[in-house]
Amino acid sequence: MPSVIEVTDLRKSYGGRAVVDGVSFTVEEGEIFGILGPNGAGKTTTVECVEGLRVPDGGRVRVLGHDPVADHAEVARVLGAQLQQSELQAKLTVREALELYSAFYPRPADWRPLAERLGLTGKLSTRFGKLSGGQQQRLFIALALVGGPRAVVLDELTTGLDPRARRDTWQLIEEVRASGVTVLLVTHFMEEAQRLCDRIAVIDRGRIAALDTPSGLIRRSAGATVISFSPSAPLDERELAALPALASVERKGERITLSGTDETVDAVITLLARHHITARQLRVVDATLDDAFLDLTAGPAEEEAA
């Protein structure tokens, strides 16, 4: 089965500056694929090329085999989109917006259950300009789905939502995927990416820094596992330093904090057992996607210096 979205060596520059610099990835049917990266990394430009809003300078983009620029109408029929910054006419009601956008598609979904699922039923007669930020966002999700798309692009979907609304939205995205729609999700929230995505492309300065499953990305980071404890008797510094796959050692008073991999954990346990030392308040914590992300992407300060 062909991929739903194929991006090959995508390039786009503005004023001589490469914003997207050779990005390639494929999104498979039924997947939630995340694009994660710092602000200004080229995430939005990449998905705007997928949506046909921008014409790439180089490379190839295909959505179910169609070129988003040359076959725009075909791509627009199968690909729903929620844009990062857009509005509707202020005096258009929710019902009118749903009816209008349904009329744009040959085989639209019934908008009533969609509005129901998004909690918009009580707001059908409310004008767009009177909706709260979260309600506007939910309406845009409904509009992205109203055409009965095979895939949707959701760009910074939960930005500006309160934590509760964000969790509700995550639930909704999982339901959308369960209904057979492929999801391309742009985000800068680690928790969101970790919770929802099957695979994540980390984009930094227009390039893909890593592409893996969330747990794969975490495993890649140098200090993927953090072990901390207070030993019941002093430990030899040299023995600690010789631990396999060790990334860092830190001492604070009695407490020792090590970072490394599963291998390091095994070795620490063996070492302690050999010396009959008890590890008090032992904590073994997996690194989060945050740690992996910080390892993979360079800080903005370095970019300024370059």
Q: Name beta bridge partners: 12.
A: 20
Told to check if 12 binds other proteins by CB under 8 A, we report no
Do strands 248-252 and 225-231 pair parallel, antiparallel, or not at all (unpaired)?
unpaired
Tokens of 66: 């169609």
Cα-Cα-Cα-Cα torsion 266, 269, 273, 275, nearest 10 degrees, comes to 110
Distance CA 42, CA 48 (A): 10
Told to check if 76 binds other proteins by CB under 8 A, we report yes
Told to check if 124 binds other proteins by CB under 8 A, we report no
Secondary structure class of 235 (helix, strand, coil):
coil
Secondary structure class of 78 (helix, strand, coil):
helix
- Interaction with other proteins in 28-57: which residues (CB under 8 A)? 51-53
Told to check if 86 binds other proteins by CB under 8 A, we report yes
Told to check if 125 binds other proteins by CB under 8 A, we report no
Told to check if 170 binds other proteins by CB under 8 A, we report no
Told to check if 19 binds other proteins by CB under 8 A, we report no
Sole window of 98-106, 164-172, 221-229, 245-253 interacting with other proteins (rule: CB under 8 A): 98-106
Told to check if 73 binds other proteins by CB under 8 A, we report yes
- Interaction with other proteins in 130-169: which residues (CB under 8 A)? 140, 143, 147
Q: Please state the closest distance from residue 89 (CB atom) to other proteins, in A.
A: 6
Told to check if 121 binds other proteins by CB under 8 A, we report no
Cα–Cα separations (whole angstroms), residue 51 to 54, 69, 91, 272: 8, 8, 27, 56
Tokens of 209: 């820094």
Told to check if 89 binds other proteins by CB under 8 A, we report yes
Distance CA 79, CA 99 (A): 18
Contact residues for other proteins, defined by CB under 8 A: 51-53, 72-73, 76-77, 79, 81, 83, 85-89, 91-92, 96, 99-101, 103-106, 140, 143, 147
